[in-house]
Amino acid sequence: MSDELRRKGQRFAKFLSELTGEQIAEGNKANFESAQNQFERFKNDYNQGRCYLCHKELKSFSKRTPCIHWLLKPKGFKKKDLLAIADNYGYFQIQSLLRWYANEESFGKNINSLKEEGSGNKLFEVTIKYKNIEWSFSCAKSDYMGHEKSQHSKHAHYHFQMRVDNRPYINFNDFHLPFSEMDILHIETMHSQSARVKQR
Ligand SMILES: [Zn+2]
Ligand SMILES: [Zn+2]
């Protein structure tokens, strides 16, 4: 199933690579505008102590409505609730929202991305801090390809770590979190773009 998704991602990347400059400029403009609108909505909710996605209070936790704001560790959140978040939201959605929180506290200082394009065996490795919480994401090439024969780890996945007050709360090896279909399209697009840059 992962293989099929990866192939679909590769086809999508090829489609993108064949767009003309004008089409790309149009797309970028639309993306930029919608990103700006979303960020303004985020700020608005944040200033009221509310979640940009579910509009509930950031301190609230309701098992029936899994949401990324749970990673701020509202009362009631348990580490295995992470699976419900990852089933409902993709890697890039989760990471983008956490970056927004980090930047609200201190712009540019709270995010540490260790990955350099094409280096080592990691596709990405990012640490994001907000208040007393530190979130880290890690994905090696073998995680992306699926590395074991168990149900969760054989599909494209990433690993997640969460520290609270500098103490481990969720460890990288606790879970294999699935990439969404959009994540895989996105990753395949990044791959084909960086491959083309290298060819030039
Ligand atoms: Zn929420
Ligand atoms: Zn893994």
Which pLDDT tens digit goes with each residue over 146-178? 876 776 677 899 999 999 999 999 999 999 999
Q: Read off the pTM.
A: 0.83
Best CA proximity match to 161, nearest among 136, 126, 140, 143: 136
Taking ligand 1, which is a single-atom ion, which protein residues have CB atoms under 5 Å away?
51, 53-54, 67, 69
Residue 99 three-state SS? helix
Ligand nearest to the CA of 85: 1
pLDDT surpassing 90 at residue 179: yes
Tens digit of each residue's pLDDT (9 = 90 or more) over 36-76 = 888 899 999 999 999 999 999 999 999 999 999 999 999 99
Q: What is the mean pLDDT of residues 115-123?
A: 66
Contact 9, 185 (CB under 8 A): yes
Cα 83–Cα 88–Cα 190 angle in degrees, nearest 5: 100
Sign, CA dihedral 64-65-71-73, equals: negative
Q: Which of 8-17, 73-82, 103-112 has the lowest mean pLDDT?
A: 8-17
Q: What is the mean pLDDT of residues 174-196?
A: 87
CA 183 to ligand 2 center in whole angstroms: 16
Question: What pLDDT score was predicted for residue 198?
Answer: 67
Place of tokens 């309701």: 62
CA 25 to ligand 1 center in whole angstroms: 33
Amino acid identity at 128 = I
* Distances from the Cα of 148 to the Cα of 34, 138, 152, 157, 173, angstroms: 39, 17, 8, 11, 13
Question: Which region holds residue 134: left if phi is over 0, alpha if psi is between -120 and 50, else beta?
Answer: beta
Question: What pLDDT score was predicted for residue 36?
Answer: 83
CA 152 to ligand 2 center in whole angstroms: 9
